[in-house]
Amino acid sequence: MSEFDLIKKYFTRATPSAALGIGDDAALLKISAGNQLAISTDMLVSGTHFFADADPYFLGHKSLAVNLSDLAAMGATPRWATLALSLPEANEAWLASFSAGFFELAEQYGVELIGGDTTRGPLNICVTIMGEVAAGKALRRDGAKVGDDIWLSGQVGAAALGLASLQGKISLPETVREICLERLHRPQPRVKLGLSLRDIAHSAIDISDGLLADLSHILECSKVAAVLQLSLIPLPEFFAQLTEQRLVRQCLLAGGDDYELCFTAAAEQRTSIVKIAENLGLPLMSIGKIVAGEGLRLIGTDGSAMKIERLGYDHF
């Protein structure tokens, strides 16, 4: 199978919202009047982001989901994506499963694949996603204000526990392991939440490298500090059943791959945020406050400041 046969068979789909999609030297896009283009790129590398024998269907899903999560954090509507694949071989069963996972999620969010590249080499997946957001309405990391509440969607920590299980660092009950691996392999991008927060939140970020690490990016960009309450961070019910509590807490605070949203908003927006949670059927929890100064303080369940051992994942 040639490179072009591979692309035509597994990745060429109709792109009605693009002026020109796959098949030429570049795609041509039509941006809606009054909107800005939001663009993000994420790379998944075998051995770093996933195991070499990972299920290709889940890889297809996750490769797009992590990019959709970035658009969610910006309050952008997903529109188009490009896909670059480095493949050890043209394995048709792998390609069929990967593309099925990718396009199932793409169709759910109205994303059109408009281009990309393929080459022979170590397994590597790189997606660039593009979306639209009204000019001046994008959620950013630099907008947090002193007095803001800090909010978190859903729950964090389960994906990191799933990875720890695969790495042999913890033994989980089978039902718990299945939940954690589902969170690891099939993250759900909070696109609808991001769109709902555009006129409400002052800042936002998605949780990819760990709650503490990603919140710290907001603090650095906004030139503010934060106080987090450990007791307010929602815990999956099964966390209390596990004996390795130090690892569990590390996964909660510094584990990656959750792809939930952390955002800040004025106290006056609490009622609106509760209504958003009800409308989306998605738990949203206020877990701390933005304060003046620098850095992040974590308050334990006993009311005393906790030592922060690790913020989150860092490639280097």
Q: Is the Cβ–Cβ distance between 210 and 313 less than 8 Å?
A: yes
What count of other Cβ atoms lies within 10 Å of the Cβ of residue 174? 7
Whether residue 285 has pLDDT greater than 60: yes
Angle between helix 56-74 and 174-185 (nearest 10): 60
180 contacts 159 by C-beta, under 8 angstroms = yes
- Whose CA is closest to 205, among 226, 186, 179? 226
Render pLDDT for 52-110 as a digit per residue (tens, 0 to 9). 889 999 999 999 999 999 999 999 999 999 999 999 998 999 999 999 999 999 999 99
Residue at 34: amino acid letter: G
Mean pLDDT, the chain, rounded, equals: 92
Q: Which stretch of DSSP H or E encloses residue 227?
A: strand 225-229
Instruction: Please tell me the distance from the alpha carbon of residue 75 to that of residue 138, in angstroms, as a whole number.
Output: 6
Q: Give Cα separations from 289 to 143, 229, 256 (angstroms).
A: 14, 9, 22
What predicted TM-score, i.e. pTM, was given to this entire model? Answer: 0.92
Question: Smallest Cα–Cα separation from 81: which of 48, 125, 122, 135?
Answer: 125
Q: Are 46 and 130 in contact (CB under 8 A)?
A: no
What the chain holds in terms of domains, given with CATH numbers, is 3-134 (3.30.1330.10), 141-306 (3.90.650.10)
- Is 316's pLDDT higher than 60? no
* Model pLDDT, residue 270: 97
pLDDT over 70 percentage in the chain: 98
